Structure 1
Amino acid sequence: MQRLTAIFLLVGLSPLLAVLGLVTRISQGSPVLFRQQRSGLGGKLFSIAKFRSMTDRRDANGELLPDEERVTAWGRFLRRSRLDELPGLWSIARGEMAFVGPRPLLPETIASLGERGQERGKVRPGLTGWAQVNGNTLLSLDEKVALDLDYVRNPSLGRDLVILMRTFWVMIGGERRTSVAGSRAKPDLSQHR
């Protein structure tokens, strides 16, 4: 069902995707998409795509400048509105991701999390998730992982619907650290290190 929904969304959103791709190309050059290997269900690797939000600007020694110096104004808009994530619909259509679940992390990050990383991998990673609607970039990695584990351990359609609705509010109003982040994240940390 999710795969079919993602295909319909890709078709329906194709004009928006084309405009976002064109503006990204004009503002940042090629390639339009950023691709990276991520860890999915059961640790299986897949390639995730996002609209690029940074340039490849380098210093005099040829080293990449810090991220904050390479993010463009357009890139900040894409990130804040979460529109940079729309190419992830392809991963849902291919069955590598779900609409809701823990965000896919780099394989080395999953490895560094030990058992917590393995437990996160018991469900398909999502385009949005419990941590993303409870603070996301305002949270530490441990807080995000604790929220992800809470999601994995307590699955429900009702929660998925809440996450989807709150995702739209985050897209419109921006990130806010919620009380859920503080109350649910801390107990899980002591139990699952």
Structure 2
Amino acid sequence: MTLVLFPRGVPVVKRILDLILTIPALVLLSPLMAFLALLIWATQGRPILFRQQRPGYRGQVFTLYKFTTMRDLRTPDGSLLPDAERLTPLGRFLRSTSLDELPELYNVLRGEMSLVGPRPLLVKYLPLYSAEQRRRHDVLPGITGWAQINGRNALRWADKFRLDVWYVDHWSLWLDCKILAVTLWKVLIREGINEPGQATAQEFNGEN
């Protein structure tokens, strides 16, 4: 594991806050994460971890880790079935409680993500962004963010990007603390997990 103590583009006080919260969280949550890994293995099989390339600071690609919530079910021609058909009951629970995000704490520890920032999306979206939307990559991506506490997957893409850019322009340590506190409340009430009428969020196609 490569750990970057102070990643490029991250204010020192923000990184210190990340480490102060992340290191104890990893220690305290390790038993829970081990239990969830065993539960996933017993009910869904392997892989236990979902790994995917995502763009981070300035679009630099890194490997994001989450708990697996879907089975690899495909049509006869090899295409993946819709998310709603691949999402398992355990996976639905993990998503609704945000427990599937816990392995991302390792991404934060490594300096690839922050606790707070725009969510890291898909690499294939990079050429679809407008110049303004691309500014969301001027900071490290986060486990939670301004868009997540203001609607999460229930928002339209244009609104998510507008909120992401607002965060880039208005970042402060106080704002990060506020987002973390509100996130805990949002997780408890399970608000904005899915886009209305969708098992997960619809893909971004470059439109507003």
- TM-score interval, smaller chain: 0.7 to 0.9
Following superposition of structure 1 onto structure 2, how do residues 126-145 of structure 1 map, counting pairs within 5 Å? 126-145=142-161
Which structure dedicates a bigger proportion of its chain to helix?
1
Q: Which amino acid aligns with 1:114?
A: S
Secondary structure at 1:65 match in 2: coil
How far the C-alpha of 1:76 sits from its partner, in A, is 0.7
Is the aligned partner of 1:42 residue 2:58? yes
The DSSP-based 3-state class of the residue aligned with 1:13 is helix
Match of 2:95 among 48, 54, 79: 79
Cα distance, 1:166 vs structure 2: 1.3
CA distance in 1: counterparts of 2:48 and 2:171, whole angstroms: 35
- Does 1:164 pair with 2:180? yes
In the TM superposition, what whole-angstrom CA distance separates every residue of 1:5-41 from its partner, at most 9, and x where no partner exists?
A: 3233212210010011111111211010001011101
Counterpart Cα distance in 1 of 2:78 and 2:120: 30
Amino acid at match of 1:172: L
Match of 1:110 among 119, 126, 135: 126
Structure 2 unmatched runs, 5+: 1-15, 194-207
Q: Aligned equivalents of 2:166 and 2:74: distance in 1?
A: 40
Shift of 1:108: 2.0
Q: 1:18-33 to 2 correspondence within 5 Å?
A: 18-33=34-49
Post-superposition, which runs of at least 4 consecutive aligned residues in structure 1 deviate over 4 A?
none
Which range is displaced more, 116-125 or 57-66?
57-66
Distance in structure 2 (CA, Å) of the matches to 1:132 and 1:155: 15
SS in 2 for 1:38: strand
Aligned residues: 178
Question: Share of identical aligned residues, percent?
Answer: 46
1:69 to partner: Cα distance = 0.7
1:96-126 per-position Cα deviation (integer Å, ceiling 9, x unaligned): 1100000011122132113134311111110
Q: Distance in 2 between matches of 1:11 and 1:146?
A: 35
Residue 106 (structure 2) aligns with = 90
1:63 aligns to 2:63 (yes or no): no
For 1:110 and 1:148, how far apart are their aligned partners in 2? 15
Where does the alignment leave 5 or more consecutive residues of structure 1 unmatched?
178-192
TM-score by length of 1: 0.86
Q: CA RMSD in A?
A: 1.7
Q: Partner of 1:119 in structure 2? A: 135
Give, as a single letter, the amino acid of the residue that structure 1 aligns with 2:84: E
Superposed displacement of residue 68, structure 1: 0.4
